[in-house]
Structure formats: structure tokens, C-alpha cells
Homo-oligomer: A and B are copies of this chain.
Amino acid sequence: MVRWEPGTPERLQAAALELFATRGYEQTTAAEIAQSVGLTERTFFRHFADKREVLFHGQQLFVAGFLEGARATPGDAAPLEVVRAALGSAAGFFGDERRPHSRRRQTVIDANPALQERELHKMVGLADALRDLLRERGVAEPAATLAARVGTLVFEVSFATWIAEGEERSIDTIQAVVFAELVALVQ
């Protein structure tokens, strides 16, 4: 009988990050990750398709939050207001208590081209979803694509700033600064 184990994905994720960071991503197997927290390889594969996916756990929640913020705006909101709302909503996933985890995760990703690839696709998928949402609201092209891509650009730059060594500002504050920089730049 398969028992429901609350928090198992999170435990596996924390263990994986620890091993990836100390031993290296390539040198760590799914079995070793599972064993380090007293679980079996089989349990690992019940939660994740492969060891790469363990780093992207929670991604659907982030994407859902981003799009939920966008959807919560009035139907006639300007495209950039929709984007701002999406960013504000996504910021909820990056509280200060999460910063050490995000930093460690990024170090692992930066060291591995296959993981960078996956991360890149994540952002492309996010921009496409936001673009589709804007199109459904009647925003014409190229405005829908431009607004969506501006949104993921501001997020990417803000996130990279947020996890930089020594950075203490909240992601909300950083996003506001980056957005203002973009506006100043384009004017």
C-alpha cells in the first residue's frame, strides 16, 4: 500500500540541493538523494521523473501564481498593468526565508548547462502563457508578445538581483526598481 507522506517532495528537494552543492550534480544519483533522508529510490521516482525535476518542484505553483495575478486584473486593464499584477503575485513565492534556498539552487543550475536549458524553457513557457492570456483579452500583436516578454524580463533581472550575494531588499522592492529603470530607459 502506498502511504501518503506529506512533505516528501520537499525533503527530497532539500536533500538533493545539499548533495548537488557539495558533491556535484553529475556525481549524485536519485538513489543517493533518497537514501540521504532514509527513503528508497522507488519513493524518489514516485515524486520525480528524474533527478533534474527535483530542482523544478513547485514550478507549477509559481507559474499558476504569476498567471493568477494577471487574471485578477480588470478585463480592460492596460497590458502593462496586467504584467505588473503578475509580477506582484509571483513575488509572493519569494519571501526572504526562501532566499538561501534560491541561492543554493541557482549555484547548482549555473554549473550545469542542461539545467540552464530547463530554466530557459521555463521562462519561455511563462512568457507564452502570459501572451496567450493577453491575446484572449483582445490585446493585439505585437503588443501582447512585447508586454509578456517585458514581464518575464523584469522578473528574470529582479530575481538574479534578489539572489545576489549581500542583497537584502525584497523581490517586490527590486521589481519596482527594475521596472522603473526599464521605463526610464525606453522613454
Contacts and interface: CB of A to CB of B under 8 A. Distances in A.
Interface of A: 79-80, 117, 120, 124, 142-143, 145-147, 149-150, 153, 157, 161, 177-178, 181-183, 185-187
A157 B145 contact: yes
Contacts of A178: 142, 146
Is the contact region of chain A dominated by helix, strand, or loop, or is it mixed?
Answer: helix
Contacts of A187: 183, 186-187
Instruction: Report how many copies the assembly holds.
Output: 2
11 contacts: A79-B185, A80-B186, A142-B157, A142-B177, A146-B157, A149-B157, A150-B153, A150-B185, A150-B186, A153-B153, A182-B186
Contacts of A142: 157, 161, 177-178, 181
Given A80-B186, A142-B161, A149-B157, 13 more contacts: A79-B185, A120-B124, A142-B157, A142-B177, A143-B181, A145-B157, A146-B157, A146-B181, A146-B185, A150-B182, A150-B186, A186-B187, A187-B187
B147 A185 contact: yes
Give the residue among A143, A182, A186 with the most B Cβ atoms within 10 A: A186
